Chain A
């Protein structure tokens, strides 16, 4: 009973976090950059939106400002990484810490209420049905825009940058700049998700981004698992990620319904994500062990990449490991 009535809320939250996860997908999957900025930038988006809306600014303008603030956060991480040579993970952590202070300054306090009864917000949990519809529109438009963008010359260059930086440089692609652009787009989307979340739940909170990366990764992983086998089209994969967010929140709701201690939920999410991140690694170990045994039985091992036989799949990117610094 309780579960069914909570379902619309779970779907709406899932869509918001699905949007956030699409941002994570761009850095983690497309750019091969484990970006921890998102824990801070989701809150930045929420804070900017909350402050502007409570100051009487039009909610759409407030969301645009949140988007730009997120892009700025991505820019900062990108500069740390490319111009200052700081490893990807650390660059994100540094920005995250900077954003903690910035977010507090933006809000002026740790918690800020944006009640739908007082302010003209776009979505609210008071009307979860509407919220789902509007969020669905948001996610669809953004998937459409990203699909277009990653098909352009610039977008293809960004995909190549994440996929093979050596080749990209040899093709005249500015790898450092492309990473910055990718980080900006990603964090802009994450901040937009933050702005929507604040409206939906009716308040902004300094802790709202804690562990966001884990939820984002969980949605990405669920989405990949769902869609990968059926279709490799980029738009469909992004839709899969959004769906991943929804499934995450439905499961989350179920677990709560079953009487799980909510204090343990973050730990459980993290453990589940850890296991899923380990699967490609275990697979690789298992298969390479298999090859080693086979090779040992055969006379002199042939060169690894030789011949007309299909080359091995490129090694899966080590989980949570960003690229080298550039520029």
Chain B
């Protein structure tokens, strides 16, 4: 374990929205986290705990106010979003966000296959690639391999999330970020997409961070779990201890920290 190198590091990261206004909102506070190579981390926390903000500062959607972010040892704190993309695979919560609706399924895959490369005047998609895409799509078991020239906008939410997941991992990312990527799907589809997520992460030994609202999933998937509240990590558990967790344990933690919080608020 100790030879593994850290894939993602956040050091003292702080992010406040609308600083100095009445809407000021601290979304991340002195946030430290190290995710090792090959680790599968699940993240839980209440609404507004800062989970998406954590994801977004890693991606570069917003700049951080303070602290540093390293991806695979590179300091990316100041890199714009599109230049960090070469290290990252991402699936968003909103199925609309991850694909280009007016482009064909195969064109979407071809775009993703070139993530992190300079886009030249070479053909946007090659014959040989199409075969590769077809075999990859077939793994989803959705029959999309027969519909490669269909526009992505015509797919259902579940199909799109599966496609986005495939796009995020087609070119192996250093880090796979999943922000409640099954939350907008019905339970059956969500389970399918989640199963494919685990399969693809295990197969490529992907370092993965998955935000979820489903505590059972958070316990079952991956080998480490963190709970966030008020922009901080309030619970961090891995290995055997994580395996033996129950949903009740987590709920208990939630309540305890919420109680502690309200006590703190009363005292101050």
Contact = CB atoms under 8 A, between A and B. Distances in A.
B100 interface: yes
Nearest to B161: A305
A324 to B, nearest CB: 12
Given A171-B85, A173-B82, A327-B80, A307 B185 contact: yes
A166 B122 contact: no
A4 B264 CA distance: 87
A155 B156 CA distance: 27
Contact of B100 (A164, A172, A175, A327): A164
B81 interface: yes
Given A159-B103, A313-B153, A154 B97 contact: no
Nearest to A163: B100
A307 B159 CA distance: 9
B119 A154 contact: yes
A166 B82 contact: no
Contacts of A5: none
Interface string B99-114: 1111100010011101
A303 interface: yes
Given A170-B90, A305-B184, A307-B186, A153 B120 contact: yes
Contact of B189 (A153, A168, A308): A308
Contact of B86 (A154, A156, A172, A311): A172
B122 A153 contact: yes
Contact of A309 (B92, B97, B156, B160): B156
Given A154-B120, A164-B101, A306-B157, A172 B96 contact: no
Contacts of B185: 305-307
A304 B95 CA distance: 11
A172 B98 contact: no
A168 B157 CA distance: 19
A231 B185 CA distance: 33
Contact of B123 (A151, A167, A169, A303): A151
B81 A169 contact: yes
Interface of B: 59, 80-83, 85-86, 88, 90, 92, 94-103, 107, 110-112, 114-117, 119-125, 153-160, 167, 184-186, 189
